[in-house]
Amino acid sequence: MNADYGAPTELAGPLQQRRALYQPRLPPCLQGATVRVEYGDATATIDPTGAHAVAQAFPRTYGQRLVTFLTPDGAAGAGKAVDERPPIRVGVVFSGRQSPGGHNVVWGLHDALKAYNPQSILYGFIGGTEGLFANKTLEITDDVLASYKNQGGFDLLGRSIDQIRSSKQVSAAMTTCQDLNLDGLVIVGGVTSNSDAAQLAETLVQKNCKTKVVGVPVSLNGDLKNQFVETTVGFDTVCKVNSQLISNVCLDAISAGKYYYFVRLMGRKASHVALECALQSHPNMLIMGEEVALSKLTLMEVINKICDGVQARAELGKHHGVLLIPEGLIESIPEMYALIQEISNLHNNNVPVTEIPTQLSPWAAALFQFLPPFIRRELLLHQESDNSAQLSQIDTEQLLAHLVEAEMIKRTKEGRYKGKKFSSVCHFFGYQARGSLPSNFDCDYAYGSWPYLPSYDSSWFDWLHGNCG
């Protein structure tokens, strides 16, 4: 683990120093040393058909009451006042991939605990979940936070693997919570991290461990949404930064007038980042994974749609353009998804990578051989910690550009295309925005997303609704 985690550092430059001065806004209901809460109806699944399955999987934590924070001048008697209590001990861990605003979650949590009782203690687990399992902690203080307020990245504590899933991992996490006598454990991350948090909470209740588990939705993908969660911390920043980069590419495309830019954006299986960036930057084409999956478009049907757009623009004398591609597009194409699943099953059966191509079914083997060599190598990469394909390492934009070029050459030979030779430039904006300085929205949202742990029962998912502008 990095020995520099949590070490006070000088901010890199004037921009970072100026950013650190911003004071995030809190909604009125979270201002002050005490808050008022109102307990509502039991929470339930969006889809009633899934309620029974979820209740069976989480018998001790499913259906907890919804907690609403009230403004200080709310109607008298409408809520339950949270009085001063003994100091509490809380741990926080970065479980998901780094996303702008993560540091402000820690900052907001620290300030909230100190406002509740100055003797309260916040521990940060160094190195992500591995630090949680090994009980590697750093006490979060004002001095520690000074260099990380409103800053990007997760370098205050770092992160490692993204799961708390196996019996050994869950047991190690519980042991740490008991050894530190934690009243609460805050898990910062996305879909997978919060799913693991729910399972951990269920286990802690079952084992009569007093630690309350709270998940905070921090994910640049924006894919953790429901009737309560409007967006995730980091999504706003990532979309704005990527939109600026895409806009620069758009201007470059117009200036040169001879290239098609294929730009792949992060987002896992959801196309939220790509869609929001398209709305902000106005590219020539956006391929949404959800639409491809719903329409059951094959790989070549996707290619033909792109080629039709290129040909239509050529007829207008335009030989340039910008195309946005979501990271999860390759899994949205039916035959590609089936191929990836076959490869995944072989990985799970411990088949050596060199032998996987020979053990594919006939149709999957044929598709595999059709793909360019670089895509074949990338499809064979070992899976992520959640057993999913390494989508960030699969150059889907280069695959599409390669096949579009081949199709345009074919159309030229057949006399169907009479424009200039097709030329492409590929980009993957996967890491440029993850460590960005968070936007005001994400600074506010993250700072105010702290859980008021004393008012919770056993496990909660924490969010702010409509309070960040």
Instruction: Quick: pLDDT tens for 109-122.
Output: 999 899 888 999 99
The region of weakest confidence among 13-22, 37-46, 216-225, 340-349 is 37-46
The region of weakest confidence among 64-68, 113-117, 307-311 is 64-68
What local confidence, expressed as pLDDT, does residue 395 receive? 92
Of 123, 104, 136, nearest to 26 (Cα)?
A: 104
Torsion of CA 437, 440, 443, 447, to 10 degrees: 170
Q: Model confidence at 41, in pLDDT bands (50, 70, 90)? A: confident
Radius of gyration of the CA atoms of the chain, in A? 25
d(CA 233, CA 100): 7
Higher pLDDT, 59 or 174: 174
d(CA 413, CA 407): 10
What local confidence, expressed as pLDDT, does residue 76 receive? 43
CATH number of 14-234+438-461, picked from 3.40.50.450, 2.40.30.40, 2.40.110.10, 3.30.230.10: 3.40.50.450
Query: Above 90 in pLDDT, residue 145?
Result: yes
Length of the chain: 469
- All CATH 3.40.50.460 domain ranges of the chain, comma separated, are 236-429
Q: Whole-model pTM?
A: 0.88
- All CATH 3.40.50.450 domain ranges of the chain, comma separated, are 14-234+438-461
Span 236-429 CATH architecture: 3-Layer(aba) Sandwich (3.40)
pLDDT in tens, 203-261: 999 999 999 999 999 998 888 887 778 899 999 999 999 999 999 999 999 999 999 99
Q: Which structure tokens are listed for 431? A: 């890491």
Judge contact between 455 and 35, C-beta under 8 A: yes
Which helix (H) or strand (E) is 138 found in, with range? Answer: strand 137-139
For residue 302, what are the CA distances in angstroms to 161, 201, 252, 371? 34, 43, 25, 15
Question: Average pLDDT in the 457-461 region?
Answer: 53
DSSP state of 360: S
Q: Which structure tokens are listed for 271? A: 């196309």
Strand order in the sheet with 321-326: 285-286, 321-326, 260-265, 424-429
Q: Model confidence at 267, in pLDDT bands (50, 70, 90)? A: confident
